[in-house]
Amino acid sequence: MADLLEMRNIHKVYPNGTKANQGVSFSVRQGEIHALVGENGAGKSTLMKILFGLESPTEGDIFYRGDKVVLKSPKDAIKYEIGMVHQHFMLVPSFTVAQNIVLGSEPTKGVLSDHQKAIAETQRLIQEFGLKVDPNAKVENISVGLKQRVEILKVLYRGARLIILDEPTAVLTPQETDELFQSLKKLVSQGYTIIFITHKLNEVMEISDRITVLRAGKTISTLITSETSKEEISRLMVGRDVLLRVEKQPAKPKETVLSLDEVSYVSETGKQVLNDISFQVRAGEIFGIAGVEGNGQTELIEVITGFRKNFKGRITFLSQDLAGKSIEEIRNIGIGHIPEDRQTRGACLTSSIKENLILDLYRDKSFRRGLFLNQKKINEHADKLIQEFDIRTQSRDTLAGALSGGNIQKIVVAREISKNPKLLIAAQPTRGVDIGSIEFIHKEIVKKRDEGAAVLLVSAELSEVMSLSDRIGVLYNGELAVILENSESLTEEEIGFYMLGVKKQEKRASAT
């Protein structure tokens, strides 16, 4: 089969000297789903930005249907029928679905926009591709899965035949992912070509025809999916053998550490975000919370860690009532917190690594000398943790913001775990972190459990919750829909039903 598109020997050096691509070659055939995999910083995004005309390569050529092309802007890419669905949705919330789809190339009647024609065009696309969505619905009111359909329709409206999807499943439930995959297969059967960027190997195996692996800005290999395995791909991605499953012994839970009794919370906009939530987390176990993002996870964590006051019900930590305690007091009684957003809450990006490692300890006597900070002690502390937690950096004085996401997260994990908390709250601990670091962070969390700490894990990655947790609670619409014992027989689909609110366990029976 002839190549639809070929990128040959692409180099990209950013003005600050970062070499994002160093000789990447990559080709896509008409009518295939081609997965592009690699760790964060492997150069996937840069390569796709070059293909979509958002960046220009320092060196190298792009061939489309055998002809050399130069892509200077997204407009050029659209001209060659290349479309991109971005990881972060590029939609205008207050506009309707139809308005979003035609935005930038609206049908007109004289100087005025032709709203009727925009809706008709949208209807036609929806029918043609079976991507059901209401053209008159406002985008701010539709679900994440539907928003993604709108993004795909947008690309199709512009006449794209080659569609780039950047981590499209990151925000979807298992069911929504299935629907997306069906749509993609249908598109391919109609002659469309798809480039699928991801780091989830299960999905790669399920959907793709061929796989190109990038590592450190270079093409490592292009594989045929049916002839390879997850183990092989991950080895190529990381450059060494990786444990895909988390190795852990069965939990030996002891006394209850954290207990929530009928906790409810009404947000400042008056929405009931948490409704009558009860569960316990015991020493020596990992309690995982699954759920589609925005179903109360953030608020649940913030209520426990003291960011939000005025909740109803009772939260107790080792027989102490947490109500009315300040964030500092809560941290000091033995609760460690890895926040879901490391950029704003986890770390201070404009401070150095060593400063980040003592963010909550600077008042501690051992880091002080009279009124001043004891730099010697702080440096020793930093060097010890950098070593222990494998933070890849030139020096302890490097600014946190200069590190990769995975390394910033390691700083946060190091700070929280090294305090020896009796309860560790880990919210999205591996979001946007590369596979190598994920493995490391998972190991540390399990280690903490085995040392007798209670762990409350919240993650939007269902596979993460399932591989780490001993028990799993599912949040749906602010309610704890179910609490399940994690076992081999528990499937993603089963949890998915609770995540979507299709199934719900009887209330009182759920409290263990």
Which residues contribute to the site for another protein (CB under 8 A)?
73-75, 78, 84, 86, 88-95, 99, 103-106, 108, 111-113, 115, 154, 269-270
Least separation, in Å, of the C-beta of 98 and another protein?
11
Residue 109, SS3?
strand
Least separation, in Å, of the C-beta of 90 and another protein?
4
Distance, CA of 270 to CA of 457 (rounded, Å): 27
* DSSP string for 303-356: HHTTSS---EEEEEETTEE-TT--HHHHHHTTEEEE-S-IIIII--TTSBHHHH
As to burial, measured by CB atoms within 10 angstroms (0-12 exposed, 13-18 middle, 19+ buried), residue 214 is buried
Least separation, in Å, of the C-beta of 108 and another protein?
6
Residue 84, SS3?
strand
What lies within 8 Å, CB to CB, of 321 at 6+ separation is 314, 315
Least separation, in Å, of the C-beta of 154 and another protein?
8
Residue type at position 421: P
The residue among 130, 127, 137, 105 whose CA lies nearest residue 118 is: 105
Q: Where are the beta strands (DSSP E) in 344-392?
A: 368-369, 372-373
Nearer to another protein (CB atom), residue 89 or residue 307:
89
Least separation, in Å, of the C-beta of 267 and another protein?
10
Nearer to another protein (CB atom), residue 87 or residue 351:
87
In angstroms, the first-to-last Cα distance of the chain is 58
Least separation, in Å, of the C-beta of 95 and another protein?
7
Nearer to another protein (CB atom), residue 156 or residue 414:
156
> Which DSSP letter does residue 138 get?
B
Least separation, in Å, of the C-beta of 49 and another protein?
11
Nearer to another protein (CB atom), residue 78 or residue 260:
78
Nearer to another protein (CB atom), residue 73 or residue 190:
73
What lies within 8 Å, CB to CB, of 226 at 6+ separation is none
Nearer to another protein (CB atom), residue 154 or residue 215:
154
Nearer to another protein (CB atom), residue 137 or residue 373:
137
Nearer to another protein (CB atom), residue 110 or residue 250:
110
As to burial, measured by CB atoms within 10 angstroms (0-12 exposed, 13-18 middle, 19+ buried), residue 488 is exposed
The torsion region of residue 422 among left (phi > 0), alpha (psi -120 to 50) and beta comes to alpha
Token digits for 434? Answer: 């590369």
Nearer to another protein (CB atom), residue 85 or residue 322:
85
Least separation, in Å, of the C-beta of 93 and another protein?
7
Residue 316 pairs with which residues in a beta bridge? 259, 321
Least separation, in Å, of the C-beta of 181 and another protein?
24
